[in-house]
Amino acid sequence: MPSPDPTYVPTPADKFTFGLWTVGNPGRDPFGEPTRPRLDPVDIVRRLAGLGAWGVNLHDNDLVPIDATASERDAIVSTFRAALAETGLCVPMATTNLFSDPVFRDGAFTAPDAAVRAYALQKTLHAIDLGVELGASTYVFWGGREGAEVDAAKDPIEAIKRFREAMNFLCAYVKDQRYGLRFALEAKPNEPRGDIYFPTTGAYLGFIETLDHPEMVGVNPEVAHEHMAGLNICHAVAQALDAGKLFHIDLNDQKAGRFDQDLRFGSESIKALFFLVKLLEDSGYDGPRHFDAHAYRSESPEGVWDFARGNMRTYLILKDKVRRFGEDAEIQSLLEEIHTSSGEGPPTSYSRASMESLKSRTFDRQVLAAKTLPYERLDQLVVDLLLGVR
Ligand code: DIG
Ligand code: MN
Ligand code: MN
């Protein structure tokens, strides 16, 4: 057995978190039954703590079965909290399963059946109580069933209104209860619905501003979901950061043009995820680094923990590459050359004087167009860096 690698070993200071449903994924998929036994949440907590994780996240029913009695619920929560206390793991984020039970087959907050919408809201009230009881400070909403296959059946504007009503009601609940909780909305373009409402992080950023309490609500971008939409995860996260709305993030990986693979972080898109880690670290993002991913269906029960280690290891390797990027004289010199201006920039704010001055300026387009842009060299240096030859 080779001695454990002393480098890139995670500690709670790295704020790595996993959902119970991630390492607990039993390997079921639309075409096959589970390939691994169900894991007890307490065992998950202990194994994650042993790997250096900081926290664990959960849907309500990852911990408490949907038909549990109140006393059964309390006993389960008590046992789970004892494991948290024993290991020091925290629960930074909680969420509601509004997608597994058949009752949500046609939506939850946006379901055509008003009684289903009422049940979804009630279930979320109880799940929020559970999350707060476990210490969560962020509450995620992923509307996996909020969508359609048959657009003839549903008014998309009505769906947006229903989702807004639910968000406004739940924000009011959190304020009424004086819970220290913020909401994070997670977008996905499709699967399991043919189309899911609010398909991208950008769509949610626009929606948040229409809420009664937008200050309480941010986003939870997921790598695989933005990639499914053919988008650049870095640019989505950058817009969330710029808006002060990056309340949480789901890290994983994804091959282009495929179903939601929730692959181990860094197993596919090394360069894209290098720039995502660079953005998170350079921006000073202080939230959880949550891996919403799962091991390959073919993986053994013990191999799941190779999967867990791999997520954190790759993040730390890429974080070290970010440091090297910043210290690389040639890379930094090329960046300085690229960002050196050929002349005075535009006015940063409007005034009659700045406008008239700009109108009166002359520009030599040939000179501006002749500036060299050494992107081939720069990108090759990044490739060298990531391949470990620099
Ligand atoms: C799937 O990407 C979703 C659900 O697993 C969960 O509601 C959310 C929290 O990370 N991600
Ligand atoms: Mn996903
Ligand atoms: Mn997710």
* In the chain, where the domains are located: 10-327, 330-386
Q: Can you give the three-state secondary structure of 71-138, one letter per residue?
A: HHHHHHHHHHHHHHHHHCCECCEEECCCCCCHHHCCCCCCCCCHHHHHHHHHHHHHHHHHHHHCCCCE
How confident is the model over 217-226, as pLDDT tens digits? 999 999 999 9
Which atom of ligand 1 is nearest the CA belonging to 292?
10
How confident is the model over 167-184, as pLDDT tens digits? 999 999 999 999 999 999
Give residues whose Cβ lies within 5 Å of ion ligand 3: 222, 250, 292
Domain 10-327 sits in CATH at 3.20.20.150
- Point out the residues that are catalytic: 59, 62
The pLDDT value given to residue 3: 56
How confident is the model over 26-75, as pLDDT tens digits? 999 999 999 999 999 999 999 999 999 999 999 999 999 999 999 999 99
Which atom of ligand 1 is nearest the CA belonging to 225?
2
**Site residues for ligand 1, CB cut-off 6 Å:** 19, 21, 95, 140, 142, 186, 222, 250, 292
What's the Cα-to-Cα distance from 263 to each of 29, 59, 258, rounded to whole Å?
14, 20, 11
How confident is the model over 369-390, as pLDDT tens digits? 999 999 999 999 999 999 999 9
Q: How far is the CA of 191 from the centre of ligand 2 (A)?
A: 9
Ligand 1, atom 5, lies closest to the CA of: 292
Ligand 1, atom 9, lies closest to the CA of: 140
Q: How far is the CA of 210 from the centre of ligand 2 (A)?
A: 26
Ligand 1, atom 1, lies closest to the CA of: 142
How confident is the model over 314-324, as pLDDT tens digits? 999 999 999 99
Q: Are 291 and 52 in contact (CB under 8 A)?
A: no
The pLDDT value given to residue 7: 82
Ligand 1, atom 2, lies closest to the CA of: 292
Strand partners, 218: 184
Residues of the chain with pLDDT under 50: none
Tell me the pTM.
0.97
The pLDDT value given to residue 342: 94
